[in-house]
A = this chain, B = another copy of it.
Amino acid sequence: MIIAVDAMGGDAGPEMVLSGASLFADRNKNNQEYKNLQFHFYGDAPKIQSLLQGHPSINQISSVFHSDRIITSDTAPASAVRYGRQSQLAMALQSVVEGKANAVLSAGNTGAYMALAKVIFQPLEDLDRPALPAWIPTPKGQSLLLDVGANVTCTARRLAQFAVMGKVLVESQKGVRNPSIGILNIGSEDIKGSSVVQETLQILREIPGLNVHGFVEGHDITRGTTDVVVTDGFTGNVAIKAMEGTALLLKYFMKDAFTKGLPRKILGLFAKPAFKDIQQNSDPRLYNGATFLGLKHVAVKSHGGTDAIGFANAIGATAQALEHHLIENMTESLKTVPICV
């Protein structure tokens, strides 16, 4: 199993990426599944090589590939595509197409990564646009929300394809059998919403064996009403950021409440382990690593702001996608989506 890693992606740079890879290797050193794991790091080779000295646990299983054209968080998707095959990200993607690696992982620029992955990996047959999913914490575990940013407008058939791909991802990453599917809408009654969501429901209900719950509302995402919540990339992107914003606001109110005056501050000190639990439950690092869905190979996106722990989890998500034959299963499942309704 060879993972091609964009060593330059992410706000914290290559040291974070290498630390994450080290952490993953240390965690799994007795895991037989990963005994042939290798990393191919793409980016500024001299820099990566020198940093690798500080990570003996991965030094032996790592190769480094140099690129002069580095895609950063500021690179526009159009420029990224114009760089051709010269950038570290394009080289990493190309290596998978050429059979030199099995999957790509990057914490870099989502737009540029998605654009390149589409061009180099190519969408699965009969699928015009790939989707970007996100794992959302719920009291029951996690739900999968997609699309969260790749597709601004969506047809019903595209949403139905997203639903089916989401289902396969939940099966493969979480081991859930026949995950339930909800279509995000402004009400849960069957008569609500736009013609697109109405038609999506109709298409999904025609697919044999699919666990279609029906429409769900915004609050159902964090409630875990369904395993998969499907929506267009505009609504999904706004929803996930609105949820992140609300979590930040509540943490702000909590901080405010536990720092107002000395007695509260002392109480806050005693309550630290409890706050740590809350933080851990909603820790985005736990849910790091989103697979672009609908491409011919595995391309995983790590959160740009993550640290080594989060990046190690994204490596785990990449490895799991390969282990569970995500692409093959997805290809099979997509055949069940009818072309017309």
Contact B247 A245 (CB under 8 A): no
Candidates B238, B247, B254, B260; contact of A246 at CB < 8 Å: B247
Which residue on chain B has the smallest CB distance to residue A145?
Answer: B242
Q: B153, B218, B234, B256: which contacts A245 (Cβ < 8 A)?
A: B218
A238's contact among B218, B247, B249, B281, by CB below 8 Å, is which? Answer: B218
Residues of the B chain whose Cβ atoms lie less than 8 Å from the Cβ of A249: 137-139, 222-223, 282
Complex CA gap A243/B267 in Å reads: 28
A171-213 near B? 1/0 per residue, CB < 8 Å: 0000000000000101000000110000000000000000000
Question: A51 within 8 Å of B by Cβ?
Answer: no
CA distance A266 to B138 in the complex (A): 26
What number of copies of this chain does the assembly contain?
2
Any B CB within 8 A of the CB of A83 = no
Q: Is the CB of B139 within 8 A of A252?
A: yes
Is the beta-carbon distance between B282 and A194 smaller than 8 angstroms?
Answer: no
Provide the bound-state CA to CA distance between A137 and B261, in Å: 23
Return chain B residues, CB-CB under 8 Å to A12.
none
Judge whether A193 and B234 touch: CB under 8 Å: yes
Minimal beta-carbon separation of A240 from chain B (angstroms) = 7
A78 to chain B, nearest CB (A): 10
Tell whether A253 pairs with B234 under 8 Å between CB atoms, given A186-B149, A186-B152, A241-B217: no
Task: Report the nearest B residue to A149, measured CB to CB.
Answer: B186
**Beta-carbon nearest neighbor of A111 in chain B:** B187
Q: Of residues A223, A231, A243, A270, which shows the largest number of chain B Cβ atoms within 10 Å of its Cβ? A: A243
Which residues of A, 222-246, contact B by the 8 Å Cβ criterion?
Answer: 222-223, 231, 233-235, 237-246
Judge whether A61 is part of the interface by a CB distance below 8 angstroms.
no
Looking at chain A's contact residues, the main secondary structure is helix
Q: Mark A145-185, 1 if CB is under 8 A from B, else 0.
A: 00001001100000000000000000000000000000010
| Nearest opposing residue in chain B for A150, CB measure | B186
**Bound complex: CA A152 to CA B235 (Å):** 12
Kindly identify which residue among B186, B248, B258, B277 contacts A233, using a CB–CB cutoff of 8 Å: B186
Docked complex Cα distance between A222 and B250 (Å): 10
Cβ B277 vs Cβ A260 within 8 A: yes
A216 CA to B281 CA, complexed, in Å: 28
Q: A194 is contacted by which of B234, B239, B248, B267 (Cβ under 8 Å)?
A: B234
Decide if A274 touches B264 in the complex (CB within 8 Å).
yes
With A253-B278, A281-B256 as known contacts, state yes or no: A246 contacts B222, CB within 8 Å.
yes
Partner of A257, one of B152, B235, B237, B274: B274
Q: Closest approach, in angstroms, between the C-beta of A278 and any C-beta of chain B?
A: 5
* Partner of A239 from B242, B251, B267, B277 at Cβ < 8 Å: B242
**Which of chain B's residues have a CB closer than 8 A to the CB of A246?**
222, 242-243, 246-247, 250
Q: Does A119 contact B (CB under 8 A)?
A: no
Measured CA separation A220–B240 after assembly (Å): 12
Interchain Cβ contacts under 8 Å between A and B, 13 examples: A139-B252, A218-B242, A219-B244, A220-B245, A221-B242, A231-B238, A234-B235, A239-B242, A246-B250, A253-B277, A257-B274, A257-B281, A267-B270
Q: Which residues of A contact B (CB under 8 A)?
A: 137-139, 149, 152-153, 184, 186, 193-194, 217-223, 231, 233-235, 237-254, 256-258, 260, 264, 267-268, 270-271, 274-275, 277-278, 281-282
